[in-house]
Structures are given as structure tokens and as C-alpha cells.
Amino acid sequence: MRRRLGGTGREIAPLGLGCMGMSWGYAERGRDDARSAAVIRAALDAGVELIDTAGVYGDGRNEELVGRAIRGRREDAVIATKGGLVVDDLASRRMHRDGRPETLLRQVDESLSRLGVERIDLFYLHRVDERVPVAESWGALATAVEAGKVRWLGLSEVSVAQADAAHAVHPVTAIQSELSLWTRDPLGGAGETGAGRGTGAAGETRAAGGAGAAGGAGGGTEPGGDLLGWTREHDVSFVPFAPLGRGYLTGTLAPGEFEDDDFRAANPRFTPEAFARNRAIVDAVSRIAAAHGATPAQVSLAWLLARSERIIPIPGTRSGAHLAENLAAADLELSGAELGELDALPAPYGSRY
Ligand SMILES: NC(=O)c1ccc[n+]([C@@H]2O[C@H](COP(=O)([O-])OP(=O)(O)OC[C@H]3O[C@@H](n4cnc5c(N)ncnc54)[C@H](OP(=O)(O)O)[C@@H]3O)[C@@H](O)[C@H]2O)c1
């Protein structure tokens, strides 16, 4: 059940933990650092290794939280963080891309200090900066690897061409991109139903520039192409972010319940109309879940795990109960017919940013 982490020779647990929502993106009222640190430690206790954070999450707060949580447990964790975005305004989560070598190298040092570790296991370029050739940003990060500050490198939300350009300079260990039952852009349309395409991939990525406060920033770069196929060909891991559709696919959310400071309050996929029109997706997932005595969250994760050995999802949660539920998805086996039904789900209504 363990999965190879890129071409590193390291094998890790099939599911990681996304820590973003503990400090950024989701309603502030639900934030509780002590509880979140306990969730991170419970994940390590359960054998989770890949712990996902980023410098911009809470403008450093999330890395500090992860650093505190893993103290004394460093060897149990594979710490993944990201650079290449800069927060302009924490309250509105406005940020911009900066992939200049000097910025990235400064951010590596800042992440090391906030995490309180000697070396970061996996450092992602969070977004490609249009003004800087990806090979230049990546080359700078490769010097951080040579300096022993970072072990492996990853890319987030890139195109196949950008992945090629980076891989020619230094091996890519992982690609992180949004992939779930309702966002399938990284599958490049190969044999897919087109969920995630219906709203127009170009519109989605352009919008990711402005309002993508929970992960996107500084528009322009087009993630795309058959990225999952690319990871298979190049012995690279694929790390789906927002694998639960930011909570939608768990079937536990209702329209209008998001507080103003929650990223979903202004997200086109979380309007009352989108809830109504996307009902068929969550209903189908719930039906399959019921047949297994499982939950929609577990089915969503099991579908991802079944797609490829390269896939290591990082569901995000601030709840110990949800963590345990999500980890049990690794033992859920869906039949070929069920996987086919999930593959055939309609494209969602509403762009992802
Ligand atoms: N590279 C990028 O640009 C990028 C962008 C976005 C996110 N990410 C990473 O990906 C990780 C995951 O994405 P995400 O957290 O945005 O979205 P997600 O994993 O799709 O969904 C998280 C949401 O689902 C809820 N949830 C989790 N498990 C549940 C369960 N079993 N039942 C009911 N609700 C459940 C969480 O609430 P509770 O807290 O109540 O469980 C939270 O509201 C992030 O934490 C971050 O590390 C990366």
C-alpha cells in the first residue's frame, strides 16, 4: 500500500495531510492551533508522513504551527512546503507571484527557520512566475538542494511544458495540482468525462490569478495537459490538492453556510445555484459510499488512489475524527463498475476559482 515518492527511492504512506485550512483559506472562527497541532500529531501516530504546508498559508503561521507540531517527531514526517508566492495583505489573502532566484532562496531560509528543521524534505515552486523562466526559478531551488537546505523539489499547478523545462534542469520529485472527482484538469482530457472542463479551463486558470486566495495567485500561467500521464512517464509523484473538493464532495456542506472570511463564500462552485446544479455529483458519490458502509469523503479519496500508483492525496482537515475517516479510505476498494460510474460523472457547474 505504500507509494514511491518520485524517483527518490523513499516509500511513504498513500495519504498525506493538508494543513492549509488550519491557518488560511477556511473560516477563521474554526481555527484552533492547539487542536490543529494535535491533528498533525495524530496523523503521524497513524503513519501519515507527507505533511503539506506553504510559506503563504497565514503568512508563515501555518509553517510555524507545523514546526511546533512535529517537534520531537522530525523523523516521522516528510515535510513539504512551498515558495514563490508573496502575501500582500493577510486579511484579504491577496498575494502575488515572485519566482526570482533571490526571493526563492530567501523563502527557503524563512521556511527552515519557521519549521525549525535543518532541511526541508520537499520544496515546491507554488506557482510559476510569468516574468521568470521556470528553469531560472528551478535552477535557484536546485542550488538550495546542493546546499543541503532542501532534499527534493516539486512543482505546483504547472503545464506539461513547464514540467519538462524544470525536469531538464533538476529532477522533479512531485507535482501538486488540484485533482478530484469534480476537478480533472490534470488528466488533460485523456479518456475522461471532462469534469472540470465544462466551465472552460482557460477561464478557470485566469480567475485563479485574482480570487484564488486559498491557493492560487497572480494569474496567467496555464496549468494543463496530461500532467498525471507526465508523472507516470517521468517517475514523479502526483499530489492532488483539494481532493475532497474543498469539502463539497464529503456531502456535509450546505449552501450559504460560509462566513465572509471563508474562501468558499465567494467561490463560484459554492453558490446556492452551484450547490443545486452539482447535486447529481455528490448524490452519486453518496450512493456508492452507502453500498460500502463508507462515507462520500472515503469514496472520493479511494477513487483518486485507484487512478494511479503515482497519486498521494493530501486531504485537509482540522478535525481528528475527519482525519481518521479519511485515512480509512486507503482500505476501501471500489469495483470496476463503480470506478466507471465515478469516471462518468458530469462536469461541475462553476469555475474552481
Ligand atoms: N498547491 C496549491 O496551490 C494548493 C491549493 C490549495 C490547497 N493545497 C493543499 O491541499 C490541501 C487540501 O486541500 P483543501 O484543504 O483546500 O481541500 P480538501 O482537502 O478538498 O477539503 C478540505 C475541507 O473538507 C473538510 N473535510 C475534510 N475531511 C472531511 C470529512 N471526512 N468529512 C467532512 N468534511 C471533511 C475540511 O473541514 P474539517 O477541517 O472540518 O475537516 C475542509 O473544510 C490543503 O490543506 C493544502 O495543504 C494546495
Q: What is the CATH number of the domain that holds 149?
A: 3.20.20.100
pLDDT at 202 over 70: no
- For residue 172, give the DSSP letter: -
Which segments of 156-278 does DSSP mark as H helices, in order? 160-167, 201-210, 227-234, 272-277
3 state DSSP class of 211: coil
Please check the confidence at residue 288 and state whether its pLDDT lies above 80: yes
The per-residue pLDDT for range 170-192, each reduced to its tens digit, is 999 999 999 999 999 999 875 34
Q: Does residue 326 line the site of ligand 1, with CB under 6 A?
A: yes
CA quadruple 311, 19, 17, 325: dihedral, nearest 10 = -120
Residue 349 located in a structural domain: no
Residue nearest to atom 48 of ligand 1 (CA): 241
SS3 assignment, position 238: strand
Would you say residue 352 lies in a domain? no
Of 15, 17, 19, 20, the one to substitute when testing ligand 1's pocket (max ligand atoms within 8 A of C-beta) is 20
Q: Which atom of ligand 1 is nearest to the CA of 124?
A: 1
* pLDDT over 60 (residue 197): no
Closest CA to 43 of 73, 6, 5: 73
Question: Domain span at residue 40?
Answer: 3-343
| Domain count within the chain | 1
pLDDT bin (cut points 50, 70, 90) of residue 210 is: very low
The answer as to whether 301 is a domain residue is yes
In this prediction, residue 29 has a pLDDT band, given cuts at 50, 70 and 90, of confident
For residue 223, the model assigns a pLDDT of 63
Quote the mean pLDDT of the chain: 91
Q: How far is Cα 294 from Cα 298, in angstroms, rounded to an integer? A: 6
Q: Which of 35, 312, 322, 323 maximizes ligand 1 atoms within 8 Å of its Cβ, making it the mutation to test the pocket?
A: 322
Nearest-angstrom CA–CA distance, 295 and 319:
16
Tell me the CA–centroid distance for residue 143 and ligand 1, in Å: 32
Question: Mapped to the 3 state alphabet, what secondary structure does 104-123 carry?
Answer: HHHHHHHHHHHHCCCCEEEE
Confirm whether 186 is domain-assigned: yes
Res. 225 pLDDT band, cuts 50 70 90: confident
**298 phi, psi to nearest 5 deg:** -65, -40
| Catalytic option among 57, 248, 349, 353 | 57
42-85 pLDDT tens trace: 999 999 999 999 999 999 999 999 999 999 999 999 999 999 99
- Residue 243 CA: nearest ligand 1 atom is 20
Q: Look-up: residue for cell 469516471?
A: 343
The answer to whether position 348 is within a domain reads no
**Residue 351 included in any domain:** no
Q: Determine if ligand 1 sits within 6 Å of the CB of residue 212.
A: no
Measured CA to CA, the distance from residue 315 to residue 21 in angstroms comes to: 10
The reply to whether 350 falls in a domain is: no
Q: What's the one-letter identity of residue 118?
A: E
Q: What pLDDT score was predicted for residue 222? A: 52
Q: Is 353 designated active site?
A: no
Nearest CA to ligand 1 atom 28: 322
How far apart are alpha carbons 278 and 350 in whole angstroms?
9
Whether 247 is in the pocket of ligand 1, judged by its Cβ within 6 Å, is yes
> 269: which residues sit within 8 A by CB, 6+ positions away?
182, 245, 246, 248, 278, 348, 349, 350, 351, 352
Q: Round to whole Å and give the CA distance between 240 and 180.
A: 7
Three-state secondary-structure class, residue 95: strand
Q: Is 242 in the pocket of ligand 1 (CB under 6 A)?
A: yes
Mutate to test the pocket of ligand 1, among 241, 261, 303, 353 (most ligand atoms within 8 A of CB): 241
What is the dihedral angle through the alpha carbons of 105, 221, 185, 139, rounded to the nearest 10 degrees?
A: -30
- The packing angle between helices 160-167 and 227-234, to 10°, is 20
Q: Could you tell me the distance, in angstroms and rounded to a whole number, from the CA of residue 246 to the centre of ligand 1?
A: 5
Residue 101 lies in a domain: yes
Query: DSSP E strands: which ranges in 187-283?
Result: 237-241
